[in-house]
A = this chain, B = another copy of it.
Amino acid sequence: MDTVVVMRSTATNTDVGGVVERISELGLTPNISRGEFRTLIGAAGGKSPAIIQQLEQLQGVDRVIAVTQPYKLASREFHEADTILDIKGIRVGGPHVNIIAGPCAIEGREMLFEIGGLVKEAGASILRGGAFKPRSSPYSYQGMGKEGLELLKEAGEKLEMPTITEVTDPRDVGIVAEYADIFQIGARNMQNFNLLLEVGKSHKPVFIKRGLAASITEWLMSAEYVLSQGNHRVILCERGMRTFNEETRFTLDVSAVPVVQERSHLPVFVDPSHAAGKRDLVPALALAAIGAGAAGLIIEVHSCPDKAMCDGPQAVLPARFAKLMDQVKRVAEIVDHRVTRWGDAPAQRRRVENGGWMS
């Protein structure tokens, strides 16, 4: 993380000397450039953003500017090619577009299997369902917990779809890993660093939603937490920022897709459901995301949303989802992407050939 120290126009030679000395003390390489009005001092090396804070307090310093990003393993400079994950034979990232779909919360076997079957039929490749639900009210439905995980595993096996579910507590990482294929880190936990460290020690893919007021740098730093523990299977997901705009639940930052693609090698998905908050807006946001080049979508689908325990208003009905999948497929092609459908994964191809599901 290289930095530049901009001295004040009134800085003395002693001030400059003090900064150079401190840079060396911090184990970095100083480099002085004297301009007409101001002196600039480069400081090369160092991983921690805290160094900036230390330098900017020295005598005669006007500002310290980070020239490079504070993340490393997550950066495109570190790993130039797109990361492509293999999740039970399904490719995620690069030109592959995957649609994750299912109910917000797992409410029971019948409902989960019905919706799962419908979304698979329509073209989803990964099944979602919440067992531990983080709710802003202590009086709201908090999810089925372990029983929900069991149902999700069963549904994933029966439908031959990898599964994703949210984990909200470092103490639950073990049990979630037993039952689901992908950890989802929710927006409100994007900077729950202990949770990130815990899933970083696992070998399962981690799907990190962007916090509702997180900068893209902070989001990539959260990915860095997971990567730094040796787990390189990270997927990012934009899900809307909190802004002054009241028309949607959150403001989908569709530009996050190309920005992340420029800065990182990790796949970036979009969640149009939570951004919109209303099902009528979901198709427009979903197609916008695919047009912008997203590596996939995560969409809430419910066959009876007005009885849903959670987030019913944003759940798309199965028929609309099926129509949307057709449009998604066609838009993806225009941006040189390709939607993964059931049967695309080698494991699934084998299954078609041999009559057995193996991961």
Contact = CB atoms under 8 A, between A and B. Distances in A.
B247 A216 contact: yes
A202 interface: no
A312 B53 contact: yes
Given A35-B44, A255-B284, A216 B245 contact: yes
B38 A33 contact: no
A70 B4 CA distance: 20
A255 B246 contact: no
B170 A170 contact: yes
Interface residues of A, number: 109
A312 to B, nearest CB: 5
A252 interface: yes
A81 B216 CA distance: 40
Contacts of A192: 168, 188-189, 192
Given A31-B35, A244-B244, 11 more contacts: A4-B4, A36-B42, A37-B44, A38-B67, A53-B310, A138-B193, A168-B192, A189-B192, A211-B213, A215-B247, A287-B335
12 contacts: A4-B65, A37-B68, A40-B40, A48-B139, A168-B192, A171-B171, A241-B251, A242-B244, A252-B255, A254-B284, A330-B334, A334-B334
